[in-house]
């Protein structure tokens, strides 16, 4: 079955490609990163994705789940997916270990528009597990340092023990990332910020609104208030991108489930420029 | 620090930046800069404090004492944020303790004098109270978002049935 | 874009006559040629699509009376073979089947093997396809055979199908194809198009495939009188259409009125029963479920029709986005008449009126649109 050049998308869009779990990195309670490798070595060498895209992971007999790619691991030749147990598929996946077998089709969806942001200050704003789809964007900013201005990460989680990828933070700041982390609930030993992520947007300095872009990923309510803060700080709606979530099943715009207004979140998104999606986001129950 | 310098500080802070320049001078006349080294206490919960504070530099954590749980950290504030609003609104009894997370400088405004000025000059009073209301509104929205616990693990899907 | 029917290049479409007495031979020839012939038949007091082997299988001498929430078959006072309009079935059930395996997985010694499920269906010869249905096929072509992701089952069945259309000679009170520019006259998308006359059918050729099929049948040239008769018969359908949908700026009208009180009002009547989506010839929503054998070593991925009216259609992350009927009805109507235009450059509605007929509480989307148009935001 022929597969498009740099993807694991067959001519038959329902057909997935075999992958195995090369490694599992526990991250948080109920959250782990699965390092997947295609069984077809040629495909594994050819596969490419853009930061922000997602794959459909398939467990035969159980079903599929849409999971964003959280990193490309060049050293180990794996494709990383940070997954939180939330339903049947992810729960079954959590029972698999190294060597476990599943299937994958993708990558799907739009990506963080880093290509259009040369020279800009890149402000990444994430909440909870929303940091996972932004992580490849962080890596791109490091890899192509000279193409971008100041890179900042504003990140919030429920509590200090729920900060995702915490072991990476020192390395990130060493490489020039301005990182502010905040938590909803503090714990002993935490001397960082306490409060919601929009407060970090309120306080962000230095900020050159005219030359900034903002990429947001997290719970929809959180994103809405972050946008509000960003607009108050002088960013425009066409400088802000949001990653949305809806019920994704086919990932190819055929099953109809993921629609938000006229947009198919699986192929017109999940990453949308805010001005293009704002009016539909603001309608309750759309 | 002289009045001019305090005016300058106020003109850069989110809390006071929208106020008319003449107001900043009058506020500065009622205020002084205060420094708090990292880990020092700005004020304690339930204690009386007669200074309304605006953070100029640094970060301050707000804690509440809960029997059985100890000191619970509610929120942290930074440059431009208002502290000790109970000094101006209410009787001056602090609702949280405030601890400097790092070396911090605040503009400390004598609340009693500010209130007298509000009463004798309603326009001044209107502008000041409006800023305080805005700051409290922002604080309320941020607190509500904390309350929503948006990052809590999803509940397992329980069919509640159609409407 | 119509896969399969290669349009004729000649500007002159010659009309030939096929005698009714020769129609059985036509059916026989199709079956012998390997087609599975599908046409209108009567079952469960409705005219539905099913296999047709004999001309006696057609609903000869029957007609349908349709209105909001009402469908009745009645005897005609003639023996017309196609003297009715559309029933609850549409050609979509053949190209986009209600239930079909889209992929399978087999556990082997070397791990899971993933493969397609070969589609075993012979090519269809669809007889009696109406103009609105031709338009609906063209609409679904845009969904299923678009540039990026193609549904292989739809494409295979579509490319191999022979489409023999029938021009309507009457209209139901629920028809509004004229408002959607989709009928009642068949103008494109068919291999052959028939217009019923008392003893014969006037046959127009719409493609090379149609021409090839026709060349194997016994036909005669149509006289001027017969051509006139055919025209009169077709005009009757036009004249009988009473329902209208004002489509002026309909996309902006609906997407600009997402909080209109009419949505609350229709939600007091709509039962969210999903009938409209089941009978609609363009609705395409589906779900895939896993079907294992008892050993768990063989799994089929079965795609089934789904509907945006299902309560948990929009479920995600522990909650349902469209939790209320108001939201679901709004989704269906705005998708069908507005968002579809953004997505596929064409309206999703072909004016067939099925959703009005088969709605148990007779909700009429033309009235809903008119109500919003009357008092827009």
HEC assignment per residue over chain C: CCCCCCECCCCCCCEEEEEHHHHHHHHHHHHHCCCEEEEEEEECCEEEEEECCCHHHCCCCEEEEEECCEEEEEECCCCCCCCCCCCCCCCHHHHCCCEEEEEEEEEECCEEEEECCCCCCCCEEEEEECHHHHHHHHHHHHHHECCCCECHHHHHHHHHCEEEEECCCCCCCCCCCCCCCCCCCCCCCCCEEEEECCCEEEEEECEHHHHHHHHCCCCEECCHHHHHHHHHHHHHHHHHCCCCCCCCCHHHHHHCCCCCHHHHHHHCCCCCCCHHHHHCCCCCCEEEEEEECCCCCEEEEEEEECCCCCCCCCEECCEECCCCHHHHHHHHHHHHHHHHHHHHCCCCCCCCCHHHHCCCCCCCHHHHHHHHHHCCC
Is there a cis peptide before residue C61, judged by omega within 30 degrees of 0?
no
Cα C151 to Cα C95: distance, rounded to the nearest angstrom: 10
A257–C303: do the CB atoms touch at under 8 Å?
Answer: no
Residue C9 has pLDDT above 50, yes or no: no
Reading the block at residue A136, the tokens are 């490849």
Q: What is the average per-residue pLDDT within C191-200?
A: 96
DSSP string, B105-117: EEEEEEHHHHHHH
Is a pLDDT exceeding 90 seen at residue B78?
yes
How far is residue A206's CA from residue A202's CA, in Å, rounded to a whole number? 11
HSE (side-chain half, CA atoms, 13 Å) at C302: 14
For chain A, percent of residues with pLDDT exceeding 70: 98
What is the nearest CA distance from A194 to chain C, expressed in angstroms?
Answer: 26
Give pairs for B60-63: CB < 8 Å, separation 24+.
B60/B36, B60/B98, B60/B99, B60/B100, B60/B101, B60/B104, B60/B106, B61/A186, B61/A194, B61/B98, B61/B99, B61/B101, B62/B96, B62/B97, B62/B98, B63/B96, B63/B97, B63/B98, B63/B99
Q: What was the pLDDT predicted at C2?
A: 43
Instruction: Using the predicted structure, report yes or no on whether residue C285 has a pLDDT greater than 70.
Output: yes
Nearest CA among C148, C34, C143 for reference residue C96: C143
Distance from CA of A150 to the nearest CA of B (A): 21
CA distance A4 to C76: 57
pLDDT at position C3 over 50: no
Taking CA–CA distances from B157, the nearest residue in chain C reads C318
Q: Report yes or no: C184 and C178 within 8 Å, Cβ to Cβ.
A: yes
Is the torsion defined by CA of A189, A192, A198, A199 positive or negative?
A: positive
C187 in Cβ contact with C151 (< 8 Å): no
- Contact assessment for residue A105 and residue A9, using Cβ atoms and an 8 Å cutoff: yes
Dihedral angle sign, alpha carbons of residues B11, B12, B15, B19:
positive
- In this prediction, residue C146 carries a pLDDT of 74
> pLDDT, tens digit, for every residue of A236-255?
999 999 999 999 999 999 99
Give whole-number Cα distances, C87 to B130, C174, C182, C189, in Å: 66, 12, 17, 20
Q: Has residue B163 got a pLDDT over 70?
A: no
pLDDT(A228) > 60: yes
Q: Mutate which of B58, B96, B150 to test chain A, going by most A C-beta atoms within 10 A?
A: B150
Cα dihedral value C131, C132, C136, C137, nearest 10: -20
Pairing of strands C36-43, C46-51: antiparallel
Question: What residues of A are in contact with residue C290 (Cβ under 8 Å)?
Answer: 60-63
Question: With 80 as the cut, is the pLDDT of residue A3 above it?
Answer: no
Q: Which of C270, C318, C322, C328 is the best mutation test for B, with the most CBs of B within 10 A?
A: C318
Half-sphere exposure of C66 (CA within 13 A, CB side): 30
Q: Do C315 and B159 touch (CB under 8 A)?
A: no
Could C306 and A262 be called an inter-chain contact, meaning their C-beta atoms sit closer than 8 Å? no
Tokens read off for A119: 């020279």
**In sequence order, which residues have a C-beta less than 8 Å from that of residue C366 and are 6 or more positions away?**
C176, C179, C243, C244, C245, C356
pLDDT for C4 beyond 60 = no
What value does the mean pLDDT take over residues C78-85?
97
Say yes or no for a CB contact (<8 Å) between B80 and A219: no
Please write the tens of the pLDDT for every residue from C239-274: 999 999 999 999 999 999 999 999 999 999 999 999
Inter-chain residue contact B163 with C323, CB threshold 8 Å: yes
Position C308 confidence tier, pLDDT thresholds 50, 70, 90: very high
Separation CA C136–CA C257 (nearest Å) = 26
Structure token pair of residue C327 = 């939201």
Asked if A251 and A66 count as a contact pair (C-beta separation under 8 A), the reply is yes
What does the pLDDT read at residue C220? 94
A191 to chain B: which residues are within 8 Å by CB? 101
Q: Which of B13, B144, B151, B154 to mutate to test the interface with A (most CBs of A within 10 A)?
A: B151
How far C317 CA lies from chain B's nearest CA (Å)? 6
Cα distances from C200 to residues A174, C203, C216, C225, C231, in angstroms, run: 86, 9, 17, 13, 14
Question: Does residue C52 contact residue C39 with C-beta atoms inside 8 Å?
Answer: yes
Show Cβ contacts of residue C252 under 8 Å, excluding neighbours closer than 6 positions: C338
pLDDT reading at B111 higher than 50: yes
Nearest CA in chain A to C325: A285
Residue A260's nearest CA partner among A285, A227, A225 is: A285
First to last CA, chain B: 65
Nearest CB to B163: which of C315, C318, C324? C324
- Residue of A204, A207, A276, A283 lying closest to A240 (CA atoms): A276
End-to-end CA distance of chain A: 38
Containing H/E element for B41? strand B41-43
User: Residue B70, Cβ neighbours under 10 Å: how many?
Assistant: 9
Return the SS3 of A15.
coil
**Percent of the residues in chain C that have a pLDDT greater than 90, as a whole number:** 93
pLDDT of residue A10: 85
Average pLDDT over residues A199-218: 96
Q: What is the 3-state secondary structure (H, E, C) of A102-155?
A: EEEEEEECCCCCHHHCCCCEEEEEEEHHHHHHHHHHHHHHHHCHHHCCCEEEEE
Residue of B nearest to A127 (CA): B151
**Cα C215 versus chain centre, distance:** 28
Q: What are chain B's partners, defined as 3 or more CB pairs within 8 angstroms? A: A, C
Task: State whether residue B153 sits within 8 Å of chain C by CB.
Answer: no
pLDDT of the residue at C13: 60
**CB of C85 within 8 A of CB of C170?**
yes
A270, two tokens: 């999940």
Testing the interface with C: which of A61, A86, A127 to mutate, by most C Cβ within 10 A?
A61
pLDDT digits (tens, 9 = 90+) for C94-148: 999 999 999 999 999 999 999 999 999 999 999 999 999 999 999 999 999 976 8
């Amino acid at each position: 079955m022929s597969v498009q050049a740099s993807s694991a998308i067959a001519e038959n869009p329902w057909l997935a490609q075999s992958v195995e779990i090369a490694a599992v990195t526990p991250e948080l309670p109920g959250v782990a990163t699965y390092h997947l490798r295609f069984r077809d070595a040629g495909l594994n060498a050819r596969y490419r994705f853009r930061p922000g895209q997602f794959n459909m992971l398939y467990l035969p007999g159980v079903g599929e789940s849409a999971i964003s790619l959280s990193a490309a691991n060049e050293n180990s030749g794996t494709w990383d997916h940070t997954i939180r147990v939330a339903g049947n598929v992810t729960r079954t996946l959590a029972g698999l270990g190294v060597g476990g077998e599943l299937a994958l089709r993708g990558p799907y969806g739009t990506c963080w528009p880093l290509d259009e942001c040369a020279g800009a200050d890149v402000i990444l704003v994430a909440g909870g597990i929303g940091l996972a789809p932004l992580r490849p964007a962080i890596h791109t900013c490091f890899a192509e340092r000279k193409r971008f201005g100041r890179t900042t990460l504003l990140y919030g989680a429920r509590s200090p023990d729920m900060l995702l990828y915490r072991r990476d933070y020192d390395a990130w700041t060493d490489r020039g990332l301005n990182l502010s982390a905040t938590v909803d609930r503090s714990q002993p030993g935490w001397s960082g910020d306490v409060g919601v992520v929009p407060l970090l947007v309120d306080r962000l300095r230095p900020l050159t609104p005219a030359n900034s872009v903002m990429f947001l990923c997290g719970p929809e309510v959180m994103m809405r208030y972050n946008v509000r803060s960003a607009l108050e700080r002088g960013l425009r709606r066409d400088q802000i991108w949001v990653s949305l979530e809806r019920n994704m099943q086919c990932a190819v715009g055929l099953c109809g489930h993921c629609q938000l207004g006229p947009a198919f979140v699986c192929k017109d998104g999940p990453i949308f420029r805010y001005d293009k999606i704002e009016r539909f986001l603001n309608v309750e129950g759309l | 620090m002289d009045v001019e310098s305090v005016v300058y500080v106020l003109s850069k802070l989110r809390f006071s930046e929208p106020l008319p320049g003449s107001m900043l001078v009058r506020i500065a006349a009622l205020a002084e800069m205060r420094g708090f080294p990292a880990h020092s206490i700005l004020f304690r919960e339930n204690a009386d404090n007669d200074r309304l504070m605006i953070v100029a530099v640094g970060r301050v954590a707000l804690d509440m004492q809960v029997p059985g749980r100890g000191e619970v950290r509610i929120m942290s504030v930074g440059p431009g944020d208002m502290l000790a609003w109970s000094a101006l609104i209410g009787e001056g009894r602090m609702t949280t303790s405030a601890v400097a997370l790092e070396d911090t400088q605040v503009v400390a405004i004598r609340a009693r004098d500010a209130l007298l000025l509000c009463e004798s000059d309603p326009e001044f009073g209107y502008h000041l109270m409006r800023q305080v209301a805005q700051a409290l509104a922002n604080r309320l929205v941020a607190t509500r978002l904390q309350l929503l616990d948006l990052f809590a693990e999803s509940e397992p899907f329980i069919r509640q049935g159609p409407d | 874009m119509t896969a399969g029917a290669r349009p004729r290049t000649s500007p002159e479409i010659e009309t030939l006559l096929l005698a009714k007495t020769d129609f059985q031979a036509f059916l026989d020839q199709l079956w012998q040629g390997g087609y599975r012939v599908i046409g209108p038949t009567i079952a469960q007091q409705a005219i539905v699509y099913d296999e047709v082997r004999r001309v006696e299988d057609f609903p000869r001498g029957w007609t349908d009376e349709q209105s909001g929430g009402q469908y009745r078959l009645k005897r005609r006072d003639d023996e017309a073979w196609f003297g009715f309009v559309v029933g609850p079935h549409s050609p979509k059930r053949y190209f986009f089947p209600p239930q079909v395996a889209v992929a399978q997985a087999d556990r082997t010694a070397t791990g899971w093997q993933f493969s397609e499920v070969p589609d075993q269906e012979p090519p269809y010869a669809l007889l009696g396809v109406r103009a609105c249905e031709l338009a609906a096929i063209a609409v679904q072509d845009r969904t299923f055979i678009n540039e990026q992701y193609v549904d292989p089952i739809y494409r295979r069945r579509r490319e191999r199908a022979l489409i023999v259309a029938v021009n309507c000679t009457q209209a139901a009170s629920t028809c509004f194809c004229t408002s959607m520019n989709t009928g009642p006259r068949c103008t494109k998308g068919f291999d052959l198009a028939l217009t019923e006359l008392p003893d014969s059918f006037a046959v127009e050729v719409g493609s090379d495939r149609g021409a090839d099929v026709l060349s194997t049948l016994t036909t005669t040239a149509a006289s001027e009188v017969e051509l006139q008769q055919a025209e009169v018969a077709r005009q009757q359908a036009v004249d009988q259409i009473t329902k209208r949908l004002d489509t002026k700026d309909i996309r902006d009208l609906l997407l600009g009125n997402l909080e209109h009180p009419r949505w609350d009002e229709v939600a007091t009547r709509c039962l969210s029963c999903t009938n409209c989506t089941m009978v609609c010839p363009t609705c395409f929503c589906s779900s895939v479920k896993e079907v294992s054998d008892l050993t768990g070593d063989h799994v089929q991925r079965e795609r089934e029709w789904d509907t945006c009216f299902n309560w948990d259609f929009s479920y995600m992350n522990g909650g349902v986005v469209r939790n209320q009927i108001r939201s679901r009805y709004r989704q269906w109507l705005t998708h069908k008449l507005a968002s579809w235009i953004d997505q596929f450059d064409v309206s999703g509605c072909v004016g067939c009126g099925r959703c009005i007929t088969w709605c148990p509480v007779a909700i009429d989307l033309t009235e809903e649109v008119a109500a919003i148009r009357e008092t827009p935001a």
